[in-house]
Structure 1
């Protein structure tokens, strides 16, 4: 069940990305104020610091990719994990790999580059995918909370209310909303004038830092659209999660038995929600003027790099079914080695 919609959604991304890149190329040909490249001001240029950062980023990226691939493989192969909750978890792991891959490989490459540059098209494309995967993850976490609400509050009707078709629709809506909202923001950002200013004081391309680099006298439209779209997706998803857990807690407290098991099925998801939305809230709600450049970079790494790495760790440590699937896979691998030997 974990890969049902994986083959349906990439064509949408290819179409949107093709549309965006065609628009960017026509914009560059017709607008001399758009720079061909941007200069990214990353971390320290000291050699020892670069080596340490590169090794740290490489380790984080490997853990992120391997951990999430492990979750996806377990969900795909283990029959005990063929349920809506793990169907969503498989998509969450895929999103985390994509989310970290938008920024980390470029940051790794820049760790040893004397001049950290990114093309104009590459910068806008990075913004598109970063917002797309981030927005899709917000909505997917809300779908997972709704799934837990139905499972705990309506256990007798759960298989009817959360069937295969509903799961597919929830995942598709998550991907499509993230894709179209990010396309609008990337498109509007691409049409900003830069007047030769091509310095971005950040580790990677993000809308607020391009607005800051732009020479446009009025960026209120871009800011309003950006906050409206991001706020609608993020706050809407958070409110759905909050309302789901309020009802879950109320239903569990009214029970005399099974409280521990009911809460156990929610703790992993709730931990991931707090980590993801908490990091985003600190990053975007705390005034930028009150932070140093180093604080900007640390917060960016928190929500863009560390969160995707920690999600599979959280689910592996706090979910008994995932731990059981890992033990069975290891046991099966040992038996196959002994037989082959």
Structure 2
């Protein structure tokens, strides 16, 4: 419940401190907008010291401190902690004559402060965060009109805080929106099951590489890979194990291929790998490492052990040959590998 009565109840103060934290104002740099309000308060009240003070758990911290050195004081030296428990402007005509404050450092110092007036900074939901206060070196009073103006300026401080809070929320929303856009972009180019490039993304990258080859880039190779007997895995163990097999194959491929290579799920249990700046003999060596990795890593949790195998077609990416022709040749090489006994690589 909001601290509308400005009481000193511990539960209320805990909620007040939480409200203060929500504004994220503590320990922020000084800002002209707050200094201007403090300056106006000092001018209106004809006071040499004007503060925008926030009462924290064990200190009072000044967002603006005109006429007073330092940015904070201990809570046991704070007049503002008394002011936030009052409704309306809290006025102490002579601090030296008030037993609560006579021993404070600002009163006993060489050039003592004697007068205090503080208007509470009340949030829209009723929590008092601190004060807009003015102090003077001489005992005095503050007219009713000056108290009204001081309260009006305190409400402007709250409006600045609300604006900051709204801007902070908007900034966070923009960050979250950018993150969502990034995630959507990743999803648009990624196969959800394996985390590899999807067919559309892989095709775009393949076209880019083919265009670069036409400009004289080093030759590249293309591998088409198809898991052997994948339908049997689904039929015997279920599609959840089939999905596990696809994820295992993708993981092993990431370990075998280079970071510069592009891996994509072409469809079903079929995958493509683009190997830039790679000769056919080098690509053949990579394909053998894929075969070996599968042989060494049976599908976990299956008894008896289920060892996956893959058939591959391999071809040089020729810049003088249309891409659709290259893919047909690659597909033909893959099915030759299937016909010749599977778990092997055939060069187109």
Query: Do Structure 1 and Structure 2 share a fold, with TM-score over 0.5?
Result: no
Give the number of the structure whose residues are more often strand, by fraction: 2
The TM-score with structure 1 as length reference comes to: 0.22
Give the number of the structure whose residues are more often helix, by fraction: 1
Greater gyration radius: 2
The TM-score with structure 2 as length reference comes to: 0.22
Which of structures 1 and 2 has the larger relative contact order (alpha carbons within 8 angstroms, sep 6+)? 1
